[in-house]
Structure 1
Amino acid sequence: MRLSMACGSTGSIRVWSMLVGVTSITSLFTYATANPPTISTTSGKLQGVDQDGVMSFKGIRFGQAPVDELRWAAPLPFSSSELVNATELGPSCFQQFARPFSEELFNNPQNPPVEDEDCLFLNVWAPSGSTQQGELKPVVVWIYGGSLAFGTGSLPLYDGTSIAKNQDIVIVTFNYRTNVFGFPGSEDLPIEGNNLGFLDQELVFAWVQQNIANFGGDPDQVTIMGQSAGGLSVASALIRHPKNPPFRAGILFSGSVQDIVPAPSDFASFDELAAGVGCNQTAGAERLSCLKALPGTTIRAFTNGPGAALSFRPVYLLLLSPALSSVTLFADNFNRIRSQQTARVPIFLGHTQDDGTVFTIGQTNLTEFLNSNGVPPAVSPALVRSLYPGLDDEQVIAASVRDLAAGCPASLWAAGYVQSGISSVFRYEYGAVFPDLQLFPNAGAWHSSELQELFGTFNTSTATPNEATLSATFQTIIANFIKNPNESPAPNWLQYVLPGSDTQTLAKLAYQGNVELDNVVMPVQSDSVDGPCALWNRFLDFD
C-alpha cells in the first residue's frame, strides 16, 4: 500500500498535516535615527526605520487584497507610487488551528497577531547604509511553517534584525494564504487554481527580483529558506523551477515534498465547509459566488469551530497537458529530481533529532498509532519496534513520525540531488536541547526548536550561555551558506555523498554541548541515521 505524506486522504499516513512553525519571543532596539530611510519600490515609496544598525521596512503590500471576487483567485501584484508608512507589521492571513495546543505553542499567545483576509504583506531588514554601498548583499527569503493551515511572517520569532545586523545580509519575510483561503481543494475552481498559497510565494519571489536591489540586496544572490511546511514550500519551488529559478540556493529545515500516488480528487472538506456556512448549491459557479459573498470572518469562524478538523491541503498534479502551465506541485517529485527536472542549485537540508515529539504527545499505543494512520497490516508493531531498539512505544511513535515527516525525506532529497549531479548538498541533524525550550514532556530537540536560535530571537532572560553561543554559531552557518552555497558552511562539514560511502558527510549539529563554530559539527556516516528509512521509504518514493 502506498501512503501519502501530504494529502490527508483516507488510508494515508497523516503526519504531513503535522508540519508546523513556531512562535517566539523578543527583539530589542536601542535607538532610531531622526531621518527615517525612504526607498522607492513597485509597492510605493517606503518610509521605514533605521535603528541599531538595521533598516527595517514592514507591512509592505505586495499583492492586491485577496477579498471578494479575488478570494480563491491567483494573487494580483500591487503597484503604487505613493508614500507608505512601512513601520508596522501587516496582519496575518486567517489561520486555522485544529487543536488548542498548536495555537498556544505556535501563535505567540501573549500577543497573537491580528488576522485579516487582506494579508499579502512582506517585510525587509537590511544593514544600515546598505543602499549607499557599492557591492550588493546576499538575500534570504523566509517561508514560515504551519501545516499550510496556519503561520505568519508577522511573529516576533521571525524578526530579521539579528540576522541582518550580525550576518550582513538582507532578509525578507512575508505572509501567504493558508488553509481554505490558500489551499481550498475545491471542484468549484480549475484544478490548477487550488494551490493559491504557492502562487502568493511566487509573487514574492518576483517582487524580490524587481525591488531588492533598492535595499542593497543582490537579486542574483537570493536564497529561499523555510521550515516544516515552509520547507515543503521551498522544495515545491525547487521542483517547479527547473530553468532560470528566481533564486540561487534553497534551505529546507524539517520539510520537503515527497511522491504521492495520484488518486481521485477529494473535495470533501470544501464541500463540508460550504454546507456549514449555508452555501448548499451544487458545486460550481453559483456556489462559489455564494461563498465569495460571505465575510471572511464567517469562514474563519467555521474552520476554527465546527470545521476545525477539516483538512485543506495542496492539490498534487501530474503535468496532464502542455496547456496546464500553472502547476505548482507535482506527484512524481523524486523522478523529477533524479532526471534533472528541478532547479540546479545548491541545497542545505536536514531535521531535528526529535522532530516527532510535538506531534505525538500522550500517544503510547503503537498498534493504535499505526492503524489510525493507515499503515498496512504487513507493517506490524513488532517490525516497527525492531527499527528503534531500546525505545518504549511512546518514543517509537515519536521517532517514526520524525523519520516519516522529516528524516527519511531529507535523506531521499539529498541522495536524489547528488544523483542528479548537484555536488553542493549539505545535510544535517540538529540535536541541541536547552532547559528553557523544554515546553512539553520529552520535548528534546523538537520540531521548530532551532528557529529562535536561527533568528536570534531567543529569550535572553532564560537562555543559558551555551544557547546564546549556539544562536550566533547557527546563524553564522546559515549565513555562510547564503553567502556562498558552494563552500562548506562550517569546519569539518563536507558536501554530502551517497549512502554507502565511508566518507562522513552528515553533520550532527550541536550534540554533546558543542556550540562553537569550530566544534559544532560532528561529522558521521552519510546514512548513519537512515536505518528505519529502509521501511518508510516505501511510502515516500514511488520510482
Structure 2
Amino acid sequence: MRFFARGSTIGSISGWSMLVGVACIPSLLTYAAVDLTTISTTSGNLQGVDQNGVMSFKGVRFGQAPVGALRWAPPQPFLSSDLVNATKLGPSCLQQFADPFTEALFNNPQNAPVENEDCLFLNVWAPSDSQQGQLKSVVVWIYGGGLAFGTASLPAYDGTSIAKNQDIVVVSFNYRTNVLGFPGSKDLPLQGNNLGFLDQELAFAWVQQNIAKFGGDPEQVTIMGQSAGGESVSAALARHPQDAPFRAGILFSGSIPDQIPTPNFTPFDEFAAGVGCNQTPGAERLRCLKAIPGTTIRAFTNGPGANISFAPLVDDFTLFANNLERIRAKQTARVPIFIGHMQDDGSVFTVGQTNLTQFLNTGATATGVSADLVRSLYPGLNDSQVIAAAFRDLVFGCPASLWAAGYVQSGISSVFRYEYGAVFPDLQVFPNAGAWHSTELPELFGTFNASTATPDEVTLSATFQTVVANFVKNPNASPAPNWAKYVPGSNTQTLAKLAYQGNVELNNVVMLAQSNSVDGPCEALWDRFLDF
C-alpha cells in the first residue's frame, strides 16, 4: 500500500494528525515569575525562559533557510555562536490543506501559526533542574498532517506539562511537507526527493549533538510521532538497522506497510505547469521553479492545486518498499516500540459517507473487493459505520498489527501494542466522532481545554502522560501496571485497551484483550493490501 493520494477517499485525509482547534487552549498550568536562562549549542547561545520549574527554548534554528538555491535541497546544518533569542515559536513551514474542514480542525483556527518557507526550527523543554545530576530521558516529537501540513508551532504541542510532570526533556521540530518536503520530482535525484525525512534526520543529529546541554541523555532518546508522524517514526526505524540516533520508538496511529516502488512524478509535473514552469523536466525547469515566490506556491497548493497530493518516493535510502520483510529479516532498528491506534481512527476521515460501494471504488482498496464481503467483516454495523471501521483498520489498525507482530517475530521482546478508547464530550466536535484520530494528543501534552474537560479527562491526561513517560524512561519495562509485552495471536491477552469503560487511573487504564481481538478484518482481507 502506498501513502494514499489526498484526492482519494482515504488520501484526502489519510495521516492527518494535527490537534483539534477546541483543544488548543492552555491547560491547568499556573505560571510563576519568568527568569531568562542561556545554554550554549551548535545553533548559538540560546536565551530561553525558566518558568514554573521548566526551561523552554523556542524557535531554535537547526537548519539553514531552505529558500532560493536551497529550495528542494537537502537541509544544511545551521551553526552559530551568536546570542539567540529563543523565547518565541518559529514559523510553520508552508502548509497545504485539501479543504476548509481540514484547516478548521487541524490548524488552530483561533490563532493559526505564521507560515514561512524559512521554517527549520526546533523547541526544547526541560525541567529546571535538568543540568544538575543525572542526565534525563528525552522524547522527540514528530507531528503529523499527512505529510501535507503540520507544525511544531501549535500551542497543542507545548512540552511544558510533560517535562514538568514527568521529569523528562521534550523536543519538537519542524520539517518540510507537501511539494516543498516531498516533491516527487524528476528534476531532482531520486534520493533527494524525501526532503522532509532528511529534515527529520538533521533534527535527530542536532539532538545527539546538543541535548546533554539541556540535561538530556543522548543515549536515552525516544522518537515519538502520531499519524504521519508515526509513519515518520516507522520510516526512521526502517532506515536505521544499526547505530540509530534513538533507543526506542512510539507510533501513535501511523506506521508504513509495504509500498509500491514505482515513482509517481505526475503530481509534481502538474504543479510545475500550474505555476507556469512548462519546461522539460531538468535543470531549466528547476531553475524556473526555484524562482517562483513561496507565496505563489502556497496559493496554488491551497487553491487550484489543493487536491494534488505529494508523497514520499521509495528511494531505498529514506523509504523502502519492503518494510515488513525488512522487519522480519532484522534489517530495521532493533529497539523497543510502543505502537497502536484509536478505536475510532476512521471517523473524521469518513464524515457523511454512506455509500460503501462508492467508498470501496474510490481509493479504499485495490479493485475487486465487494461491499458484501466488507460488510461481513463488521457484523451489526450500518454502512456508515462499516466505512469508518474499514478506514480505521486499513490505514491505522492493520499496519500497527503487522508492525507489532513483525517486531515480535524478529526477536524484539519489548513491544507494547494498544488500542485507545477514551471518549470525552468536549472532543465530540462532529457526529459519531468517538475516540477519533488525534484525540489522545490533548491528554498526552496536557493541552486539553481546561474549561470544558471533565474530571476523568483531567485524570486520564496525567495517567497517559505517565504511561508514555514510563516507556520513554525504560522502554524494556511495562509502561503501566498489568500491561504485558505483546504476543500476537489468540492464545494470549497482551493487547492493551487503554481507557475503555471509563478506566482512567493508572492502576486500571489497561484492560488486556486477546492479541488478535481487533485483527479479524485485517487477517481476513486488509493485510493482503499491506503486506506484499
| TM-score, with length taken from structure 2 | 0.97
Partner of 2:193 in structure 1? 194
Q: What fraction of aligned residue pairs are identical, expressed as a percent?
A: 74
Q: Is the 8 A contact 1:6 1:16 kept in 2?
A: no
Q: Is 2:406 the counterpart of 1:416?
A: yes
TM-aligned CA distance change 1:529 to 1:79, over 3 Å: same
Once residues 368 and 149 of structure 2 are traced to their aligned partners in structure 1, the CA distance between those partners, rounded to angstroms, is 35
Change (3 A) 1:218 1:45: same
Residue among 450, 472, 497 paired with 1:508: 497
| Change over 3 Å in CA distance of 1:266–1:9 after alignment to 2 | farther
Match of 1:486 in 2: 476
Is 1:37 aligned to 2:26, yes or no?
A: no
Q: Does 1:168 align with 2:167?
A: yes
Aligned partner of residue 48 in structure 1, secondary structure: strand
- How big is each residue's C-alpha offset from its partner over 1:30-61, in whole Å with a ceiling of 9 and x where there is no partner? 12334x11000000000000111100000000
Aligned-partner residue type, residue 15 of structure 2: L
Q: Which amino acid aligns with 1:50?
A: D
The residue number in structure 2 matching 1:358 is 348
Is the contact between residue 431 and residue 509 of structure 1 (CA under 8 Å) also seen in structure 2? yes
* Residue matched to 1:140: 139
Of 260, 265, 268 in structure 2, the residue corresponding to residue 267 of structure 1 is: 265
2:464 corresponding residue in structure 1: 474
Deviation for aligned residue 1:261:
2.6
What amino acid does structure 2 have at the position aligned with 1:301?
A
- Report the counterpart of residue 425 of structure 2 in structure 1: 435
Alignment partner, residue 5 of structure 2: 8
Q: Name the aligned partner's letter for residue 287 of structure 2.
A: S
Query: In structure 2, how many angstroms separate the alpha carbons of the residues matched to 1:182 and 1:498?
Result: 36
Match of 2:447 in 1: 457
| Contact 2:4 2:11 (8 Å CA) reproduced | no
CA distance in 2: counterparts of 1:462 and 1:17, whole angstroms: 27
The Cα RMSD (Å) is 1.3
Shift of 1:268: 1.3
Indicate the SS of the match to 2:372.
helix
CA distance in 2, matches of 1:297, 1:9: 22
Question: Which residue of the partner structure matches residue 219 of structure 1?
Answer: 218
Contact residue 369 and residue 397 of structure 1 kept, 8 A: yes
Aligned length: 526
Structure 1 Cα separation of the partners of residues 498 and 507 of structure 2 = 11
SS at match of 2:333: coil
Opposite residue 210 of structure 2, the aligned amino acid is N
Distance 2:14 2:259 in 1: 17
Structure 2 residue aligned with 1:389, among 379, 384, 392?
379
Q: How far off is 1:29 after superposition?
A: 4.6
Quick one: which amino acid aligns to residue 329 of structure 2? Answer: S
Structure 1, unaligned stretches of length 5 or more?
A: 320-326
* 8 A contact 2:2–2:260 mirrored in 1: no
Structure 1 residue 14, shift from structure 2 partner: 4.2
Q: Which amino acid aligns with 2:462?
A: A
Alignment of 1:252-263 (within 5 A): 252-263=251-262
Q: TM-score if structure 1 supplies the norm length? A: 0.95
SS of residue matched to 1:505? strand
**Secondary structure of residue in 1 paired with 2:18:** coil
1:157 aligned residue: 156
Q: Deviations 1:134-187 (Å, cap 9, x if unpaired)?
A: 200000000000000000000010000000000000000010000000000100
What is the CA–CA distance in structure 2 between the aligned matches of 1:17 and 1:288, rounded to whole Å? 29
Letter in 2 for 1:279: C
CA distance in 2, matches of 1:15, 1:96: 13
| Structure 2 Cα separation of the partners of residues 297 and 438 of structure 1 | 35
**Displacement of 1:391 after TM fit?**
0.4
| Superposed structure 1 runs of 4+ greater than 4 Å apart | 12-17
1:21 maps to 17
Residues 9 and 266, structure 1, Cα contact 8 Å, conserved in 2? no
How far does residue 477 in structure 1 lie from its aligned partner after superposition? 0.1
For 1:107-143, what per-residue CA distance to the aligned partner results, in whole angstroms no more than 9, with x for missing partners? 0000000000000000000001211x12000000000
Superposed counterparts of 1:30-429, under 5 Å: 30-34=31-35, 36-131=36-131, 133-263=132-262, 265-317=263-315, 319=316, 327-373=317-363, 375-429=365-419
- Counterpart of 2:527, as a letter, is N
* Kept in 2: contact 1:221–1:248 (CA 8 A): yes
Q: CA deviation at 1:8?
A: 3.0
Residue 125 of structure 2 aligns to a residue in which SS?
strand
What secondary structure is seen at the aligned counterpart in 2 of 1:21? coil
8 Å contact from structure 2 (residues 6, 13) kept in 1: no
Match of 2:98, SS state, is coil
Q: Secondary structure at the match of 2:502?
A: coil
Deviations 1:266-322 (A, max 9, x none): 2111111111111111111000000101111111110001000000000013x4xxx
What is the distance in 2 between the residues matched to 1:463 and 1:220?
37
Residue by residue over 1:213-248, the C-alpha shift from the partner in whole angstroms, topping out at 9 and shown as x without a partner, is: 000000000000000000000000000000010000
Distance in 1 separating the partners of 2:329 and 2:409:
9
Where 2:234 maps in the other structure, the secondary structure is helix
After superposition, give the CA deviation of every residue in 1:310-343 in whole Å (9 maximum; x if it has no partner). 00000013x4xxxxxxx10000000100000000
Give 1:138's aligned amino acid.
S
Q: CA deviation at 1:262?
A: 2.5
1:376 to partner: Cα distance: 4.5
Q: Is the 8 A contact 1:226 1:233 kept in 2?
A: yes
> What secondary structure does 2:220 align onto?
strand
Closer, same or farther: CA 176–377 of 1 in aligned 2, 3 Å: closer
SS at match of 1:38: strand
Q: Which whole-Å CA distance do the structure 1 matches of 2:97 and 2:457 have between them?
A: 30
Match of 1:140, SS state, is strand
